[in-house]
């Protein structure tokens, strides 16, 4: 049973990622997203613009927590009015993705959608905000429910407000 009563998927109904595959899954995710970012940017948002299932993506640019260098990641585009939402699900793995730590350290980010870049300030949603946002998130990408059921980790959600 999920510790989050708003998550409708039950843990026993979710296929776990076997421990022996976690390293390989992370490796594939890392290099696929780098390739996705490169193609998306080169085509100005016209190619590799959707994740499997047809879900639209965005490119999130941020400063690296340790290096201070620019980092970019392809994520599912989650609009919420003039704001954007980011979900650090990493498929329900036990650790937060690296980009999560970068945004916590440096919340001024940019988000490119369909070749247009906007500047945002990200903040992590409170547990109450996440609960309220959950139905909206699932309306955009239903698998988030399965991801949260798969892990004991409270998957972080960021609310990104336009800046500059």
CATH of the domain at 120: 2.30.110.10
**What is the pLDDT at residue 85?**
98
Which pLDDT score, from 0 to 100, does residue 25 have? 84
In this predicted structure, the answer to whether residue 46 has a pLDDT above a threshold of 70 is yes
Residue 144 lies inside a defined structural domain of this protein:
yes
Whether 33 is in a domain gets the answer yes
CB-CB contact of 90 with 28 (8 Å): no
Q: Do the domain assignments include residue 121?
A: yes
Do the domain assignments include residue 4? Answer: no
Q: How far is CA 18 from the centre of its chain?
A: 22
Does residue 117 lie in a domain region? yes
pLDDT in tens, 13-36: 888 877 888 888 888 888 899 999
Give the chain's domain count. 1
- CB hemisphere CA count around 77 (13 angstroms): 23
Q: How confident is the model at residue 118 (pLDDT cuts 50, 70, 90)?
A: very high
CA distance 111 to 36: 15
Confidence (pLDDT) at 1 = 43
pLDDT at 2 over 70: no
1 domain-assigned: no
In this prediction, residue 12 carries a pLDDT of 82
Mean pLDDT to the nearest integer, 122-151: 96
155 has pLDDT over 50 = yes
Residue 58 and residue 75: Cα distance in Å, rounded? Answer: 6
Confidence (pLDDT) at 20: 86
Rounded to whole angstroms, the Cα distance separating 22 from 4 reads 24
pLDDT tens-digit profile of 48-89? 999 989 999 999 999 999 999 999 999 999 999 999 999 999
Per residue, what are the HEC states of the chain?
CCCCCCCCCCHHHCCCCCHHHHHHHHHHHHHHHHHHHHHHHHCCCCCCCEECCCEEEEEEEEECCCCCCEEEEEEECEEECCEEEEECCHHHCCCCCHHHHHHHHCCEEEEEECCEEEEEEEEECCHHHHHHHHHHHHHHCCHHHHHHHHCCCCCCEEEEEECC
Assigned domain for 2 exists: no
Q: How far lies 109's CA from each of 6, 28, 42, 103, in Å?
A: 29, 24, 20, 8
pTM, two decimal places: 0.92
Domain containing residue 29: 11-162
Domain assignment present for residue 3? The answer is no
């Amino acid at each position: 049973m999920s510790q989050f009563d708003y998550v409708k998927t039950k843990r026993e109904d979710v296929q776990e990622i076997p421990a022996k595959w976690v390293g390989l899954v992370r490796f594939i995710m890392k290099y696929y997203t780098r390739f996705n970012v490169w193609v998306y940017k080169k085509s100005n948002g016209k190619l590799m613009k959707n994740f499997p299932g047809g879900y639209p993506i965005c490119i999130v640019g941020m400063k690296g927590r340790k290096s201070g260098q620019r980092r970019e990641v392809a994520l599912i585009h989650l609009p919420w009015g003039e704001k954007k939402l980011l979900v650090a699900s990493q498929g329900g793995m036990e650790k937060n993705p690296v980009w999560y730590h970068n945004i916590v350290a440096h919340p001024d980010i940019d988000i490119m959608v369909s070749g247009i870049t906007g500047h945002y300030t990200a903040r992590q949603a409170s547990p109450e905000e996440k609960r309220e946002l959950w139905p909206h998130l699932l309306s955009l990408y239903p698998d988030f429910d399965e991801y949260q059921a798969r892990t004991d980790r409270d998957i972080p959600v960021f609310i990104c407000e336009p800046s500059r």
